[in-house]
Amino acid sequence: MIQTACPQAQYLAHKKEIDDAISRVLDSGRYILGEEVNTFEQEFADYCGVKHGIGVASGTEALHLALVSCGIAQGDEVITVAHTAVATASAVSLTGAKPVLVDIDPEYFTIDPDCVKDAITARTKAIIPVHIYGQPADMDSVRLIAEENGLIVIEDCAQAHGAKYRGRRVGSLGEMGCFSFYPTKNLGAIGDGGMVVTDNSELADKVRLLREYGWKERFISSDQGWNSRLDEMQAGVLRVKLRYLDADNQKRVSLANDYLAGLANLPLGLPRKRDASDHVYHLFVIKTEDRASLQEYLKKEGIGTGIHYPVPIHQQDYFAKLAKYGSLKVTEKLSREIVSLPMYPELSRRESDTVIQTMQDRSHG
């Protein structure tokens, strides 16, 4: 079976170095907030081109902590998309603020700046653009709207580690950038993990405080914090994988280029890349009105596919009641047509060729 993602293949590709990192942590006797986390925070911040990185428990927590550190709370509104992982909206509702869900651009599937403008009210405090599938959002427009309206921009970078927009890495384009290290991500741990990156020293200090019980000094809380730490084991593994991130992203781009060329003659919607951005293809998502039968056919031929995401957030029970939203026609149509094809750095050329050939056979057979 050709899988859509395969974190184990990445472990096997760097087994010796990862095993060594794990042994190093075990032998150190320090398992929480030690040398590995400190070093990884700096290495990842440097990689993103910002001053600070704060390791946290997950991508959801990175967003949650970033929002709280910016003072976002009940009574506030935060504008984001309905076409994203539910975690983006969960992080907003965890603060007590209201997620305001807007539509996406039909070509690139990222937040539609005109819809953001229409959704701004006196209560709006922040915008969360999501760099979906590995492609940066239209950050020039988002930043301009934010500046004109005094809003904070918090980037959801969970699917776009290493992607660039006008030559700058995601995470460095807003007030704060939030990453997930869920195992299938472009930079994935062997469990959960996340990071907030920022150039703003005050906000970085605040996130550090909040992620560990509000402690400025050990055992003494000076704020309402909780426990949301990245652990040493994950940081050790992530330090190994960070060294391969650019090469791995390049492999994803090569696979994507093969798919784009090999599927170009088929009646499918293929992903499009903005001129201003480098796409890192966390997912390779195509569009077809014939989704169910395509998925079934590929499954029978031993090829796994996914749907990211089948139900837009405003149509999920909890957020249907809680969130604020208007017409989301592009999102709704897209959610009925998208299919994610196998995409991960260790996917072989032979396997991607099999995917292409199988889809060609279906079309011509």
Ligand X SMILES: Cc1ncc(COP(=O)(O)O)c(C=O)c1O
Residues at the site binding ligand X, with contacts judged by CB under 6 A: 58-60, 84-85, 87-88, 130, 156, 158-159, 180, 182, 192, 194
C-beta closer to ligand X: residue 102 or 359: 102
Q: Which sign does the torsion angle of CA 298, 302, 305, 311 carry? A: positive
Report, in Å, the least distance between residue 72 CB and ligand X: 16
Report, in Å, the least distance between residue 340 CB and ligand X: 12
The C-alpha atoms of residue 176 and residue 76 are separated, in whole angstroms, by 18
Q: Is 292 exposed, middle or buried (0-12, 13-18, 19+ CB in 10 A)?
A: exposed
C-beta closer to ligand X: residue 129 or 359: 129
Report, in Å, the least distance between residue 95 CB and ligand X: 15
Angle between helices 349-364 and 245-262 (to 10 degrees): 20
Report, in Å, the least distance between residue 63 CB and ligand X: 6
C-beta closer to ligand X: residue 65 or 303: 65
Residue closest to ligand X (Cβ)? 59
Report, in Å, the least distance between residue 264 CB and ligand X: 28
C-beta closer to ligand X: residue 182 or 325: 182
C-beta closer to ligand X: residue 61 or 248: 61
Report, in Å, the least distance between residue 174 CB and ligand X: 14
Cβ(179)–Cβ(187) under 8 Å? yes
Cβ(82)–Cβ(328) under 8 Å? yes
Picking from 84, 48, 302, the residue whose alpha carbon sits closest to that of residue 179 is: 48
Strands 176-180 and 152-156: parallel
Report, in Å, the least distance between residue 80 CB and ligand X: 10
Q: Which residue has the tokens 């050990």?
A: 218
C-beta closer to ligand X: residue 99 or 263: 99
Which residues, other chains included, contact 6 with Cβ-Cβ below 8 Å and sequence gap of 6+? Answer: 344, 346, 347
C-beta closer to ligand X: residue 10 or 180: 180
C-beta closer to ligand X: residue 44 or 294: 44
Report, in Å, the least distance between residue 231 CB and ligand X: 14
Q: Which residue has the tokens 């492999």?
A: 251
Letter for the amino acid at 286? I
Three-state SS for 5?
A: coil
Q: Which sign does the torsion angle of CA 96, 100, 105, 109 carry? A: positive
Secondary structure letter of residue 342 according to DSSP? P
